[in-house]
Chains A and B, each alone.
Chain A
Amino acid sequence: GDSVTQMEGPVTLSEEAFLTINCTYTATGYPSLFWYVQYPGEGLQLLLKATKADDKGSNKGFEATYRKETTSFHLEKGSVQVSDSAVYFCALIFVQSGGSYIPTFGRGTSLIVHP
């Protein structure tokens, strides 16, 4: 079945450092890819998405590019802030030929940013 693999956390960075969180996927077709963020005590919020190969999703300084050749959707940010501390989830949704689909999430990567 479809699956999403994220790098293990926690990722600990100093403020203004460069961030990369790796995400790779397996799917039988060409899914849509998402990054969600979960702040402490809250539900998940959509951060960005990409729906086809080579698309770049971006939001709040975060970016991710849909790479079909490497089946990856790595999250990057050039300069992190303390307020970016949260858990980040990579996810995919693929509509199968029968019309059903199962949203699949990675296990989440915790990011801790120190001042």
Chain B
Amino acid sequence: DSGVTQTPKHLITATGQRVTLRCSPRSGDLSVYWYQQSLDQGLQFLIHYYNGEERAKGNILERFSAQQFPDLHSELNLSSLELGDSALYFCASSPFDRGSTDTQYFGPGTRLTVL
């Protein structure tokens, strides 16, 4: 158990809908990262927050947005969902800001299925 929690575990929804994925980092960790894992794209970095501030953006679509709240939990909002958004979404946490040697601790993931 990494100490990172994600809810829900599974989510099934229809095209065009909007969903919110939630992540609680390990106690004391200030950084949260979001990733999308799909069969065709592999593991793709989406976005990084540190102590409530956005730090880096990867391959995140404009239909997707995220935020980190004062209690350090984070939410990833996915809107106007398409079939291709079906994937596993992971969050990871670490104690530090832009550290290049950081270990990231991954949550168990949320499996999103868009029908």
Contact = CB atoms under 8 A, between A and B. Distances in A.
A103 B107 CA distance: 16
Contact of B43 (A46, A89, A100): A89
B43 A43 contact: no
State the main secondary structure of chain A at its contact with B. loop
Interface residues of A, number: 26
Contacts of A106: 42
A113 to B, nearest CB: 22
A102 B58 contact: yes
Contact of A44 (B90, B98, B100): B90
A100 B42 contact: no
A106 B41 CA distance: 10
Interface in A11-33: 31-32
Contacts of A108: 42-43
Interface residues of B, number: 25
Contact of B106 (A31, A45, A102): A45
A103 B98 contact: no
29 contacts: A31-B100, A32-B101, A41-B108, A42-B108, A43-B2, A43-B90, A43-B92, A43-B106, A43-B107, A44-B92, A44-B104, A46-B104, A49-B101, A51-B100, A93-B102, A94-B100, A95-B98, A99-B98, A100-B55, A100-B56, A101-B100, A102-B56, A103-B45, A103-B58, A103-B104, A104-B45, A105-B43, A106-B42, A108-B42
Given A102-B45, A102-B56, A105-B45, 4 more contacts: A89-B43, A94-B100, A105-B43, A108-B43
